Copies of this chain bind each other. A is one copy, B any other.
Amino acid sequence: MTFHYPNGKRYVAAAVDTAASKSKDKKWSYGKRGMTLEEDINETNQYYLDQGLAVIHKKPTPVQIVDVNYPKRSAAVIKEAYFKQASTTDYNGVYKGRYIDFEAKETKLETSFPLKNFHVHQIEHMKQVVRHGAICFVLLRFSLADEVYYLEAKHLLAFWQRMLDGGRKSITKTEVENLGCLIPLGFQPRINYIKVINNLYHL
């Protein structure tokens, strides 16, 4: 048995065996917020899928494949490849017939969210899908406070434009609080962003 002296912070178990803790024991270690934002969203999407609520997937990481080996009697091995810049956001899918499209980012800053977290391509993509009637947004996580906000793409695009016009290169926390919607973190689903969609779009 291990003792932990109180230090005013929540006890965070040391990561012992990441391979094991990543698989089956996940559900028992929720208290430990070692989960990444991506893992939380993937589990949320899996929950939506299992419950028949929505079909939303993360897109695979785009990779430029240069060299592949085809060994006899075993799977092809990619021997040389490079990460490519994504031309879209990471997540998309369908909810009640509507096209859903979003990106998720986090910051360790406490009072603002830097816009450099987004790439020009992603911003352009968001503009395009918004024009075509998508439900498009970003999930912004302030990791130190462990808060996740839903911010509609139209607001992000306005802040991006403010930056292009010579304004600040970030969104203040207050702006996120005022224009975004704080998503209470839960067990299942972890980040219930569909609830926000229901409210915003009366679905």
Contacts and interface: CB of A to CB of B under 8 A. Distances in A.
* Total copies of the chain: 2
A106 to B, nearest CB: 21
Interface stretch (A7-15, A80-88, A184-192): A80-88
Contacts of A157: none
A82 B76 contact: yes
Interface in A62-100: 62-63, 65, 75-84, 87-88, 92-100
Interface in A121-180: 125, 128-129, 131-134
Interface size bucket, A side?
A: 35 or more
Interface in A17-74: 49, 52, 54-55, 57, 59-63, 65
A82 B88 contact: no
A198 to B, nearest CB: 14
A125 B55 CA distance: 8
5 contacts: A79-B79, A81-B81, A93-B99, A94-B99, A99-B99
